[in-house]
């Protein structure tokens, strides 16, 4: 099993010396302000930037680390807040086919693994050492039959398992005890015959348990609150603030939503607390440092934005700042 000793790095690797600053014009009531995304670096090891395409990842907000699932061998690499790998686990196949992972406030890792006929949620410590398998209890028939979750999240002591093919959300506590769950196809107006046409692309959970996801064919971002109320926003188009092929979505603790457009190769910013007001967008299609190639999954941890891309572009990291 490959291991990297955890340590503090007193330096930035050489890619971080390239800072690409792009101004986002933000129209506020008080006048024109500026928001910035500064390109910092790509996630790297000691040999340089790591090539990958459309990887999934999880965030440890307590330790400010990012966990990246390697699709080739289903191992997990852990990166510190300077973008360097500090630890790896899972390369012996003990977790099977990992579809997603989440961390609780204590640092325990919940790894969602799917096989042909079943799914499991493994529990590991912060080093990735297996502690056991989560036993789900008290489930209704909606989740004991025809339920295959492919996304997992953890917020404030709750686990969220989402089946994006069958439009089901299961909520449990950290011991696997049923708390809530529902089918949300009818909430967003999708009937059974058309479910296969409504591919959920980006998906995240905010700290209050609101599920936020994108559906490219609709060019919309959907928000479903814990009390099952729906809100949406978005318009189809190729001009700034509009969705062409909408991808990943992320939310920060200040009420800002970040949405990737995979075709336009931009990251858009919206103010959730101001009727989803469009604040600006960053990006340009290309292979130069800071440019984007088909961005997909995105995540926010503090003032850092992580973007997973295609064409072996790896995961790029940007600093968010606002005036």
Per-residue pLDDT tens for 141-161?
999 999 999 999 999 999 999
Q: Is residue 31 part of a domain?
A: yes
pLDDT tens string 275-285: 999 999 998 89
Region 215-231: mean pLDDT is 97
**90 touches 75 (CB < 8 A):** yes
**130 touches 94 (CB < 8 A):** yes
Measured between alpha carbons, how far is 71 from 296 in angstroms, rounded to an integer?
Answer: 15
Question: Whole-number mean pLDDT of the chain?
Answer: 88
Both structure tokens of 290:
């800071």
In this prediction, residue 246 has a pLDDT band, given cuts at 50, 70 and 90, of: very high
Measured between alpha carbons, how far is 34 from 121 in angstroms, rounded to an integer?
Answer: 43
Name the helix (H) or strand (E) containing 222.
strand 220-224
Q: How many domains, the chain?
A: 1
Name the helix (H) or strand (E) containing 142.
helix 141-144
Q: Is residue 92 part of a domain?
A: no
Q: Is residue 279 part of a domain?
A: yes
Is 259 a residue whose pLDDT tops 80?
yes
Q: Is residue 131 part of a domain?
A: no
Is 34 a residue whose pLDDT tops 60?
no
What CATH number has the domain bearing residue 45? 2.120.10.30
**136 touches 118 (CB < 8 A):** no
pLDDT reported for residue 15: 38
pLDDT reported for residue 196: 78
- Alpha carbon distance, N-terminus to C-terminus of the chain: 46
Region 164-168: mean pLDDT is 95
pLDDT tens string 50-89: 999 999 999 998 888 999 998 888 899 999 999 999 999 9
pLDDT reported for residue 194: 79
- Alpha carbon 114 to chain centroid distance? 18
**57 touches 306 (CB < 8 A):** yes
Closest CA to 298 of 237, 213, 184: 213
Q: Is residue 277 part of a domain?
A: yes
C-beta atoms surrounding 274 within 10 Å: 12
Is 6 a residue whose pLDDT tops 60?
no
Cross-strand partners of 241: none
Q: Is residue 245 part of a domain?
A: yes
pLDDT tens string 291-317: 999 999 999 998 999 999 999 999 999
Q: Is residue 156 part of a domain?
A: no
Instruction: Provide the phi-psi class of 63: left if phi over 0, else alpha when psi is between -120 and 50, else beta.
Output: alpha
Higher per-residue pLDDT: 13 or 167:
167
C-beta atoms surrounding 176 within 10 Å: 17
Q: Is residue 54 part of a domain?
A: no
50-68: burial string, b at 16+ Cβ within 10 Å, e else: bebebbbbbbbeeeebbbb
222-246: burial string, b at 16+ Cβ within 10 Å, e else: bbbeeeeeeeebbeeeeeebbbbbb
- Alpha carbon 28 to chain centroid distance? 28
In this prediction, residue 323 has a pLDDT band, given cuts at 50, 70 and 90, of: low
In this prediction, residue 32 has a pLDDT band, given cuts at 50, 70 and 90, of: very low
State the sign of the Cα–Cα–Cα–Cα dihedral 88, 92, 97, 103: negative
Range of the domain at 270: 20-49+234-323
Is 175 a residue whose pLDDT tops 50?
yes
pLDDT reported for residue 319: 94
């Amino acid at each position: 099993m490959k291991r990297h000793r955890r340590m503090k790095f007193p330096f930035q690797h050489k890619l971080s010396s390239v800072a690409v600053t792009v101004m986002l014009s933000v129209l506020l009531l008080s006048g024109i302000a500026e928001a910035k995304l500064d390109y910092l670096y790509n996630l790297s090891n000691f040999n340089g930037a790591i090539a990958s395409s459309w990887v999934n990842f999880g965030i440890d907000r307590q330790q400010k680390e990012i966990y990246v699932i390697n699709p080739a061998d289903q191992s997990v690499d852990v990166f510190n807040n300077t973008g360097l790998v500090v630890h790896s686990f899972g390369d012996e196949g003990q977790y099977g086919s990992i579809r997603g992972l989440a961390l609780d406030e204590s640092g325990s890792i919940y790894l969602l693994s799917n096989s042909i006929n079943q799914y499991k949620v493994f529990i590991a410590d912060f080093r990735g050492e297996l502690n056991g398998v989560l036993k789900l209890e008290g489930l209704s028939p909606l989740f004991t039959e025809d339920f295959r979750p492919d996304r997992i999240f953890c917020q404030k002591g709750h686990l969220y398992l989402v089946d994006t093919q069958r439009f089901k959300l299961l909520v449990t506590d950290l011991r696997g005890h049923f708390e809530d769950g529902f089918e949300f196809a009818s909430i967003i107006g999708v009937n059974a015959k058309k479910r296969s046409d409504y591919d959920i692309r980006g998906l995240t959970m905010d700290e209050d348990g609101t599920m936020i996801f994108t559906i490219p064919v609709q060019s919309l971002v959907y928000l479903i609150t814990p009390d099952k109320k729906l809100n949406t926003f978005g318009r189809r188009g190729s001009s700034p603030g509009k969705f062409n092929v909408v991808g990943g979505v992320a939310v920060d603790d200040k009420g800002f939503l970040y949405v990737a457009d995979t075709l336009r190769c931009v990251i858009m910013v919206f103010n959730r607390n101001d009727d989803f007001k469009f604040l600006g967008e960053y990006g340009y299609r290309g292979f130069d440092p800071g440019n984007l190639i088909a961005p997909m999954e995105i995540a926010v941890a503090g003032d850092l934005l992580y973007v997973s891309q295609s064409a072996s572009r790896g995961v790029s990291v940007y600093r968010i700042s606002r005036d």
